[in-house]
Structure 1
Amino acid sequence: MIKPLKKLKLQGFNNLTKSLSFNIYDIAYARTRAERQEYISYIDEEYNAARLTQILTDVSDIIGANILNIASQDYEPQGASVTMLISEEPILSEEPSNLPQPGPLPETLLAHLDKSHITVHTYPESHPDNGISTFRADIDVSTCGKISPLRALNFLIHSFDSDIVTIDYRVRGFTRDVKGRKHYIDHKISSIQNFIARDTQDRYQAIDVNMIQENIFHTRLLLKDFDLQNYLFGTRGEDFSPEEQESIKERLRREMLEIYYGKNLND
């Protein structure tokens, strides 16, 4: 059981900025040009402005914020944006809501809090030759005060079909206690993985690159196993010979590895 942190008495408002940024990738195989276009259209509809608005609404509830105003827009040929004005809800507890434990899970987007903001942008695209299509969502959650973006981490990972996830978390600025001493962080953290649910950690391969002394943390997640049928768009596994299935799986895995490591792999 995690013991509550000792209450930190501040001179005034806690103005530390906690920023959580991550990219989520979904990979698929669409054999023909028509199937690739159908996949992009499907993703564009699945994550349209209305769906993203609902996701952001849930995120606002999780981190503890009131929605003030919403503006949304879908784009041609694809993509969406949402702007949501939010204010911080009254904090019932004086303890920061960013203890190193997983937040709640769930069954182009921009939001502003009175001291914070949330942004999400979507990028569906496809490879012109080998049938690989990808969907990327870039998400940034930045908060000030006691509310923490880390609480929304598990919900957002589960809200998208995530094959690869790259996550950055940073605490910026400082806040003073009543003696005038500066504090550059108000909670304990050694890894973003401390805030990821155990079932999620079991499904993904993870690596960390952290600069703890600078309050900068980076984690990458790669799905360990996948069922080919879940990655075929417009076709079924039995439509391909065993050799073709293996070739498709190799292409899918290569795409995942290149995104995970951030570089093109040698042939």
Structure 2
Amino acid sequence: MKITPEQRIELHGFNNLTKSLSFNMYDICYTKTKEEREAYLEYIDEQYSAERLSSILKNVSDLIGAHVLNIAKQDYIPQGASVTMLISEGPVVEVPTDTYKETPGPLPNNVVMQLDKSHITVHTYPEFHPNEGISTFRADIDVSTCGEISPLKALNYLIHSFDTDIITMDYRVRGFTRDRNGRKLFIDHDINSIQNYIPDEIKGLYDMIDVNVYQENIFHTKCKLKRFNINNYLFGYTEDKLKPTERDEIIERLQTEMDEIFYGANVPVLKKDKNQG
């Protein structure tokens, strides 16, 4: 069933479809010494503390029209944080005309819809390579909603909330609801790609790969930053402090780290497969 932007499906009862968005971001940094690594982890813990993450999730709940029932948050030792937010149906406002359009969602300035029996979670994972001088920070955010609007409408805001080198996004619609005649509906909106929910100016910054299983209502998109400026990956100093050979070595290590995360495989394995092919 194709849904036009002006249409709304008349349901038998409440919309029982569960729409889940998993948003994973990676920030990569070169930390040459133990002191640099500790300073980077301290910066990450401060920048993405449980308190700030709670603020981000509250804005997400506003964007999808949720009422926050409960927040559990924790900063971990030595590093990392988690926030879990239970949300329920929020204030009912006028249904937006772009409910079914594959367009980027707004930034947090208005409530647009309602949902029920839902949750939002975030977990952070700072880590470092034991020998290569690479530190990596990962944040996993899961938004699960019931109701008419997709959590993809919060994607634009989430991308703006994190300074990220690599993004992995998964969207899935589970369960079924019924129309007024009792016919099962396994999805209530048309979707071609997660990319259609990302603004063009953001898409222009990244290389992107889609893997979609349309018959199962599963959508997957990976993004890797296109342009590489080494100064964005040095912690506490700039490129002019490096010797040319050291600069080239650092760039190679950083780009290898990004490629491995993006393709989900160690670079030596990829090179071997390429030679064999």
TM-score by length of 2: 0.89
Aligned to 2:112: none
Aligned to 1:110: none
CA deviations 1:154-191 (Å, max 9, x no partner) are 11112111101111100011110111101111111010
Unaligned runs of 5+ in 1: 108-112
Maintained 8 Å contact 1:132/1:252: yes
Maintained 8 Å contact 2:84/2:122: no
Aligned to 2:79: 78
Structure 1 segments of 4 or more deviating over 6 A? none
Flag the 1:137–1:98 CA change in 2: closer, same or farther, 3 A: farther
1:127 to 115, 126, 129: 129
Aligned pairs (5 A) from 1:136-147: 136-147=138-149
Unaligned runs of 5+ in 2: 110-114, 272-277
Which residue type is aligned with residue 56 of structure 1?
A: L
CA deviations 1:134-162 (Å, max 9, x no partner) are 00001111100123211111111121111
Task: State the alpha-carbon separation in 1 of the partners of residues 108 and 15 from structure 2.
Answer: 29
Task: State the alpha-carbon separation in 2 of the partners of residues 116 and 13 from structure 1.
Answer: 14
Higher mean alpha-carbon deviation, 38-47 vs 256-265, is at 38-47
TM-score by length of 1: 0.92
Aligned to 2:150: 148
Maintained 8 Å contact 1:98/1:150: no
Aligned to 2:231: 229
Maintained 8 Å contact 1:7/1:94: no
CA deviations 1:198-240 (Å, max 9, x no partner) are 1110000001000011110000000000211111012221110
| Alpha-carbon distance, 1:99 to partner | 2.3
Task: State the alpha-carbon separation in 1 of the partners of residues 6 and 210 from structure 2.
Answer: 25
| Alpha-carbon distance, 1:82 to partner | 2.3
| Alpha-carbon distance, 1:98 to partner | 4.8
Aligned pairs (5 A) from 1:89-168: 89-94=90-95, 97-105=99-107, 114-168=116-170
Which residue type is aligned with residue 14 of structure 1?
A: N
Q: Over the residues paired in the alignment, what is the CA RMSD in angstroms?
A: 1.9
Aligned residue pairs total: 261
Aligned to 1:46: 47
Task: State the alpha-carbon separation in 2 of the partners of residues 114 and 5 from structure 1.
Answer: 23
Task: State the alpha-carbon separation in 1 of the partners of residues 250 and 108 from structure 2.
Answer: 31
Matched, 1:245 2:265: no
